[in-house]
Structure 1
Amino acid sequence: MLFTNRNMLGSLLLIISTSVACAQQPPLWNQKKCAVVLTYDDGIDGHLDNVLPALDSLQLKGTFYLVGSAPAVSNRIPEWRRAAQEGHELGNHTLFHPCNAQLPGRTWVQPDRDLSKYTVNRAISEIRANNTLLQAIDGKTQRTFAFPCGDLRIGDTSIYEQVKNEFPGARGVSSGLYTAAQIKLDDIPAFAIQDQPASYLIHLVDEAIKSHTLLVFLFHGVGGGHAINEGLAEHSQLLHYLKQHEKEVWVAPMAEVAAYMQQLKQ
């Protein structure tokens, strides 16, 4: 009996110590099992016409990476300002969206927007100019950055290294599900979405829930308006699934999630 009681006591102590250890762990993804960030690139009319109404109808917040020179930005400033007031993030996607035309499949890049012909100072100046423009729209000083085409460098020089202290984080284009400890805030992974079925989008959410990781969606057009497009119905099914699982999934703009990860890494 004494041996049995000692075993029971040992088991009880193990349970108590495990419970205490779990209680001391930092909250995971703002008390949720995973985090999901909905990002939309280039600042097009479809984001204002299709995406924002869909997000707002479900009280979900997204990040819109705006190209300052885009007509849909300059022509619809009051609507972007209203989106920011409603809690959406206006992210920095540079002033002119320069990409490296020397890479395969880049014949569409205009000569005056060929990143390989830029100086580092020019690239930095255009990023900062876009920050100034975005602040004039939303009045905010904190926002995240997204690399156009995922291009991180001019030659051997990192562009973002020069401005990283001006942003809480930067979104890249390489895909993957990672924990906060694994993610590098200067190249946050994202899944680029184009003509995918809703089942694929929902599967990614389920995988993020299981693995307790960050899932970033990278959309361009939704319901048209861009060569890289996702269907309205598929996008809507994703949003409704996220809403149905809001007790498990933290959906927030990238700036908010990046700031949260910064705190966890301190």
Structure 2
Amino acid sequence: MNLKNILIAGLILIFNTSYAQETRNWNGKKCAVVLTYDDALNIHLDKVIPMLDAYKFKGTFYLIGSAPVVSKRLTEWRAAAKNGHELGNHTLNHPCDGTLPGRGFVTAENDLSRYTVARAVNEIRVTNTLLKAIDGKDERTFAYPCGDLTISDTLYYNFLKNDFVGARGVVSAYPQLKDVNLSDITAFAQIGSTAAQMIAQIEEAEKTGSFVVLLFHGVGGEHPLNIELEEHRKLLEYLKKKEKDIWVATMVDVAKYIKKGQNLR
């Protein structure tokens, strides 16, 4: 082999190595997937967590502090956390902005537009205290109820950045690691989704070298925003087959990884 061919072979090797590193920047995988479940439902304890455990995946469960499913089933939530699932903060009373269209379900008591920033911050911190009493952990993530970010044009999470590793929103996108906004982490809400539709979202994240957060409420019932339990199982089956290329982790672990990656740049 002459010098020219040696140089070309060397350049190809460098390119291929760099490309492999570039497309496997999610804990050594091509992309990351986070499975999140909102509102503290019985179905999460009865069906979802056992299914995740069967496939050896960990999920993030955003608990409403005042939800009866929290107070009545503390032991089971504690066991889930001990087994590696994240208990995230979804506020004390799930306040949403009642002035927005389609918000007929919002009552005067949980109308975010009637809150002060101080009240919102205090209730979220109270919920953190409750969650720590359940799981003993100091690090966790937050999820905005209804995806509402502001109170009277004030971004209330700005007062809570030191309390959390990150905050999950509801806007769908495929950002690169360096561009992720940890104060409003992108997510894809699943409402009536099939496994094929969710897999397509994951494949797009893999193709772009990004990550995807799947946002669930009901899984097999108990909530108007629901997907079928069998579609959820098919999704987990796909993720299990793709473990070599896809990192499935909790929101807190992925947010910590993103933060570390951004700080290294």
TM-score normalised according to structure 1 size: 0.94
Distance in 2 separating the partners of 1:59 and 1:153: 37
Taking a change above 3 Å as real, the CA distance of residues 63 and 20 of structure 1, as seen in their structure-2 partners, is: closer
Q: Aligned-pair RMSD on alpha carbons? A: 1.7
Aligned residue in 2 for 1:206: 203
1:5 positional shift: 3.6
Alpha-carbon displacement from aligned partner over 1:177-222 (angstroms, at most 9, x marks no partner): 2221121111001000011122101111222222221110000010
Aligned residue in 2 for 1:260: 257
- Is 1:218–2:215 an aligned residue pair? yes
Distance in 2 separating the partners of 1:115 and 1:260: 31
**Aligned residue runs from structure 1 range 132-151, under 5 A:** 132-151=129-148
Distance in 2 separating the partners of 1:205 and 1:164: 28
1:24 positional shift: 7.6
Q: Aligned to 1:110, which of 104, 107, 111?
A: 107
1:6 positional shift: 4.6
Distance in 2 separating the partners of 1:212 and 1:222: 28
- Is 1:97–2:91 an aligned residue pair? no
Distance in 2 separating the partners of 1:37 and 1:188: 11
Aligned residue in 2 for 1:39: 36
Alpha-carbon displacement from aligned partner over 1:159-181 (angstroms, at most 9, x marks no partner): 10000111111000011222211
Which residues of structure 1 form unaligned runs of 5+? Answer: none
1:91 positional shift: 0.2
Q: Aligned to 2:124, which of 127, 130, 133?
A: 127
1:246 positional shift: 0.6
Distance in 2 separating the partners of 1:235 and 1:39: 12
Contact 2:31 2:211 in 1 (8 A): yes
Which residues of structure 2 form unaligned runs of 5+? Answer: none
- Is 1:77–2:74 an aligned residue pair? yes
SS in 1 for 2:193: coil
TM-score normalised according to structure 2 size: 0.95
Aligned residue in 2 for 1:251: 248
- Is 1:239–2:228 an aligned residue pair? no
The structure that has the greater radius of gyration is 1
